[in-house]
Amino acid sequence: MSEEPDGRGSEPSGEQRVPRHRLDPDRAAAQARASRHERVPTVIDTRPYRWTIGIFALALVIAFSVYEFTRHGIVAPGVPSGGRLHDFVAPLATIGPDKPANTDPRCDPAHPNPLGLNVCGRTPLVLAFFVTRSGACTREVDTLQAVSREFAADDVQFAAVAISASRSGTAALVRSHHWTIPVAFDSSGQVGTLYNVAICPMVELARAGGVVQDRLIGEHWLSATALAARVRALLAG
């Protein structure tokens, strides 16, 4: 006896039908992203703000310069023409004590310290400031050394101060470069602060009495010819 179909049909016994939308990979990926609440990062264009940042930085520089001028009375490095050198005694690198420079009390022209560079206006002076880690700065002292030979018979002193430098490091440079002019070291940076040293090469040329005739800044003065011309003008008065 056979059974008649009831008209509703039946599913295949060995497999199940999968809805068509589950076979669409793009739609499935979209649904997966939606379920995880993914967000696309927003890219912010910072170009409109660059001018604002630059102006703010410039304002900071101006404010700092005004502060330095109010505090120290100078903004540019060194002492300009017509000003007077700041007196100090700094220990010589090869024979001086391993101590900071003496800026207060300052040097006594009548009783100079034989172990130090005495800057107190006794004679015309060509004074360079340098840092030991800079090649251009050390070449500045090479130039002073070379020019000093031309004026060996004149009453003018050539000297240099290594700013924020150690005694041993400065002494090593003196020996390796064969410098014979007085070279002092400023281990604590007091002389650098006193002269507002912020750049090198920087050379001060002062008449007897300590009044500055020339303040030379920049690599142009690494030329022995250029520096010698200014020294001759210094001695001519």
What is the pLDDT at residue 106? 77
* Same domain membership, residue 173 and residue 139: yes
Sheet hosting strand 183-186, strand order edge to edge: 183-186, 157-163, 125-130, 202-206, 212-217
237: pLDDT confidence band, cut at 50, 70 and 90?
A: confident
Residue 50 within a domain: yes
Is 211 a domain residue? Answer: yes
Dist. CA 103–CA 64, nearest whole Å:
25
pLDDT on residue 57: 44
What was the pLDDT predicted at 162? 97
Residue 80 covered by a domain: no
Is 110 found in the same domain as 69? no
- What pTM does this model have? 0.68
| Residues 69 and 128 grouped into a single domain | no
Is residue 130 one of the residues assigned to a domain? Answer: yes
Residue 2 has pLDDT above 70, yes or no: no
Residue 207 domain flag: yes
Same domain for 120 and 221, yes or no, is yes
Q: Are residues 163 and 140 in the same domain?
A: yes
Q: Which helix (H) or strand (E) holds 28?
A: helix 25-36
- Residue 176's pLDDT band (boundaries 50, 70, 90)? very high
Which of 232, 173, 222, 215 is CA-nearest to residue 83? Answer: 215
User: For residue 97, is it within any domain?
Assistant: yes
Do 153 and 222 lie in a common domain?
A: yes
Q: Are residues 111 and 215 in the same domain?
A: yes
- Whole-number Å distance between alpha carbons of 41 and 164: 50
| In-domain check, residue 33 | no
The verdict on 47 and 100 lying in the same domain is no
Q: Are residues 62 and 153 in the same domain?
A: no
**What pLDDT digit, counting tens, does each position of 101-142 carry?**
988 767 888 889 999 999 998 899 999 999 998 888 999 999
pLDDT for the residue numbered 105: 64
Question: Is residue 65 domain-shared with residue 94, that is, in the same domain?
Answer: no
Tens of pLDDT, residues 36-82: 554 544 555 555 555 455 444 434 433 433 334 334 444 579 999 99
Q: Find out whether the peptide bond into 105 is cis, omega within 30 degrees of 0.
A: yes
Residues 231 and 131 in one domain: yes
Structural domain boundaries enclosing 68: 43-75
98 and 161 part of one domain: yes
Count how many domains the chain has.
2
pLDDT (tens digit, 9 = 90+) per residue, 86-106?
Answer: 999 999 999 999 999 988 767
Domain with residue 192: its CATH number is 3.40.30.10
Tell me whether residue 66 is in a domain. yes
